[in-house]
Structures are given as structure tokens and as C-alpha cells.
Amino acid sequence: MVKILTDANFEAETKNGVALVDFWATWCGPCRMQSPIIDELDEEIGDKVTFAKMDVDANPQTPSQFGIMGIPTLLIKKDGVVVEKLVGYHAKEMLEETLGKYI
């Protein structure tokens, strides 16, 4: 199941293994297109990757800390370190290929 992150739990939930965090907002059209892809990937490879979402309107501190200026933005972290920052909508195949480098 895709985790819902907040400013308070972001570091704790993304410090171990590989994590993909989807920074989004309810008013963002491309975010609504990206969300089902994140859900599909979670069902398929959620045992290898932690999938999480963070609403940027409700949690402004973390997006600011990582310089997130546009959404959707996907951060991929490995063992607590950001290894990829993907801005905009990304197709499932591209995300599978990118995540494959880290799992």
C-alpha cells in the first residue's frame, strides 16, 4: 500500500532501502495522471520499493527542503540519499527502468 507522508514522518519512512516519493497536489492534473501509475508499481514491486505520496499543500517544509518547484516531482531515495529527481509526468515503463537501477 502506498504510504502517505507528512513533513513529520518523511525522513523516517524513506531512510531505508529504495523509496519513490510522489510530490503532488489535489489541483494538479498531471499529478492525477501519475497517481495510478504509482499505485500499479506499488502492487507489482512494492516488496522491493517503498512507494509514498506527499501532498505539497499540506506539507510545505519537505518540498522546500528538496527544492521542489513543480509537481508532480518524484524523488527516488536509496538508503536515505536522493539518487534521482524526476519532474513532470513519467510513464510506467520509464519508472520501472529507473527504479531497476537501484533495486
Residue keyed to cell 499505485: 39
54 tagged catalytic: no
Q: Catalytic residue among 5, 20, 21, 31, which? A: 31
* DSSP one-letter code for 43: H
Q: Catalytic residue among 18, 20, 28, 76, which? A: 28
Nearest 10 degrees: Cα torsion 56, 59, 63, 64: 120
28 tagged catalytic: yes
- Parallel, antiparallel, or unpaired: how do β-strands 73-78 and 81-87 relate? antiparallel
Please identify every residue annotated as catalytic: 28, 31
